[in-house]
Structure 1
Amino acid sequence: MPWSSDPLAWFDELRENRPAGWDARTRSWYVTRYEDVSGLLVDARLGARRVEYCPPGLTERQRDTYWLLMGFVDRWPVFSDPPRHTALRQLLRRLFAPEATRRVTDAVAATVGARCRRVPPDRLFAEAVRPGLAQALAALLDEEPEDLPQLTEWSSKILAVGSIESYRPEIGEAARQALEEFSRFVEDRCDAGKGHLARALRPALQAGELDLLDATATYAQLVTGALEPSASATAVLLRELTSGPLARKEFTADPGAAITEALRLATPFHLAPRRALTDIPLHGEVVEEGSRVVLVLAAANRDPRSFPDPLSFRPGRPARPHLAFGRGRHACLGAGATRHAMAAVVVQLLEAGALDGLPPLRPVWETDFGARFARDVRPASA
C-alpha cells in the first residue's frame, strides 16, 4: 500500500508487519510499535536534530527554499538537542505557569459560553469551539485576538510544507513568503517587548543567545502546536459526546480520562523524527549511526498490544500513557494547558445544552503524511 493514499493505514501495516522498517524512498527507518516508540522517545541513542536530506528533482531555487525552510524547522524547540533545547525550555516554562492556565480556561469559557448559545448546531465547531480555543492561544501568548488569524495563517503555510515524504515546491514557496512576514512580525514584537512570549525571548535575543529565526521558530511551534491539536482532540470528543449518553456520563465521571482518550485517538502530529547517534539493534535489524529514524506516534497510539480495540473510545482503559504529546525532555510543555482548555470547552457546551438533541457528529479531517487536523465537525449523515 502506498503511504500517500492513506498514511494511517500504511503506518498500521508497518506496525503489524515491519515494526522497524526501512523505506528507501525517504531513506528513513519507521518505528511503529508502542513499546518501541515509547522507549526510543527517551533513549539517549537518538538525537532530535534531523538528518539532512533533500528530495530529488528540485530546481536550484526550490532547493534553496527547501533548505531555508528545513533549517527553520530545525530551530523549533521540539527538534533541538541539549544544551540549546534545555535553554529554550527554560525560557518557555514561565508561559505555562498556573496563572497562564487560568488565563487560558477563562478565555475559553467566556468565548464558548457566549457563542454556543447563538450559533446553529452545524456551526458549533467552527463558530464556537475553534474561536474559543483561538482565544485561549491569544491569552497564552498575550497577543491581540485580531492578530491571531494572521499568525495562524503564517504558521499553517509553514506547517503545510510537511515532511520530506510529501514536500511540494509550490507549497514551499508560499511557506517561504509566510516565514519572511512572520519574522518581521516577531522582530517588531520582540523589539517592543509586547506580549508574554516576546518578553520571554527578548533578553536572549539582546544577549545574542538567540537570533530572529530562533524567536520566529519558537512562535511558530507554539502557534501550530497549540490550536490544531486542541481543536482536533476536541472534535473527537464532540463525536463521542453526540454518539449516545454513555460518553457524556463517562466525561462527567472523569473528564481527565475522556480527554486523555480523545487525545490518543486524535494524535494530530503523526511523527517524531530523530537521528541515530549510534548503531541501534531493533527487531532483528540494525539502525545505523546517522540514519533518520521516524517514531510514528500515530501508529503507537493505535497499537492493539497496548490499547485493545484501539479505534474505540474507552476512557476506562487501564492507565497507559498515550504519546500524542511525546515523552521525555521533548514532551509538549503545553500539555496541561491543552487539557484544561478542552475541559473548559466541553463543560461550557454541556452546561448550555448545546449538544442536546444533536445528531451524531463526525470530524472532517485534513490528513497529510505528518499530521491530521479536524477542519470542521458535521452531522455524520451529511
Structure 2
Amino acid sequence: METVRVLELYSGIGGMHYALKESGIPFQVVAAIDINTTANQVYSHNFPNTPLWNKTIEGITLDDFNKLSFDMILMSPPCQPFTRIGLQGDIADPRTKSFLYILDLLPRLCRPPRFILLENVKGFESSTARERLVTTLKQCGYTYQEIMMSPTSVGIPNSRLRYYLIAKLSTEHFNTEISSEIPGASPHPAEDDSPAPSHPSNQDTCPPEDGVQGNLVLYKLETTIDAQRKMTQNKNQSVRQIQDFMGPKVEVNIDQYLLPPKTLLRYALLLDIVLPTCRRSVCFTKGYGRYVEGTGSVLQSCTDIEMESVFKDLEQSSEEEKLQQLSKLKLRYFTPREVANLMGFPQSFSFPEQVSTKQQYRVLGNSLNIEVVSRLLHLMVS
C-alpha cells in the first residue's frame, strides 16, 4: 500500500511509533505531539528525525492540522479521568479538554483521516467521553470496532487490559471481527485485570481449575480464587515465560533492584511474586519501584527456595527472622529494560542517560503494549 501519513497525538515515549514499525505498514509520522518533558526526551532520543511538537493539542489550530494532511490518527488520551480507582471525572476532568477539542475538530478537517486508533484504560468504555467519540465517528462516516484486549492474548506474560477503538472512513464494515483474529480479544468489556484499591491482585481473569481448591495453601493475602487463577495462568502454554523477556545478567547490577528490607517487612504479604518460569505478571504502572501494592510484579531471583516455605510461618516470626526468611528469595524489581521487553519495545529502544530509573518506570507505566497495538493496526489497515 502507499505510505500512510500518521499524526501521533499524546505521543509519549513512542509506543505508537514502534507499533507502526512492528505492523509492517509503510508510514511517515508527520508530527508527534506531547507536553511531557521526560517523554519527549525519550521520544527524540529514539526518533530524532520525527517532528515532535511540545505543544498542548488545544493550542494547535484547525489550519495547522489541515496543513499536516494526515491519513491516520493514533492517540492514547490521558487515562486519569477514567480509572476506576480515581475520581472518574470523565469529561468534567480538565485533562479531557484536549480530547474533546480533537472531537470538535474532526468533522471540520478539510480531509478527514482514513484511519483512527485510540487506546485507553478499562473504564473508558462506559464513559461520556466514549459516547461523544462514537457519536462523532458516526457523524463523520466512520465504521469502528471496540475491543478489550490484554498482552496475554498475543502470548506476552503480562496483564494490561485496555480499551481499544479502531475506525476507518468507509461505508463498508470491517471485513473481520478482531476477536476472531486474535484469541482472547473481546469485542465487549472484559473482566477487570486491575486491582481494587486494597487488593494486591490485578490479573487477567481466568476460570479457576476444577478440583484444586483443596490442595491450596494460602500463605499470603490472597483468596483461593486468586491462587487458582495464578495456577491456571502459569499452565497456559500459549503464553511465553517471563524468562524470555529478562535482560542479560551482565547488563546491569541486579543488586540495585533488590527490594529494601523495610519494603520486605512492611509489604511482604501484598507482593505479587513471580518466577522466571511463570507465564503471568501484573500490570506495571507509573508508580512501580516507588509503591508496592498494585504497581507490578516482583521477581523471585533465587529459584532454589520454595516460596511457600518462606511465607507459611512468617506471621509468627520476629522481624529479624522475617527478614532472614524473606531475603532467601532475593526478591527484586524488574529492571526498566525488562518492563520495556514485556511491553513489546524492541532492543533498539533506549533511554537517554539523563533520564533516571524512577522516570523510566514512570513513562513506561504511562505507555502501551506495542505488540497488541501493532496487531490492531495491521488488522485495521489490511
Q: Give me the TM-score of the superposition, normalised by structure 2.
A: 0.27
Which structure is richer in relative contact order (CA contacts within 8 A, separation 6 or more)?
1
Larger of the two Rg values belongs to structure: 2
Higher helix share: 1
Q: Give me the TM-score of the superposition, normalised by structure 1.
A: 0.27
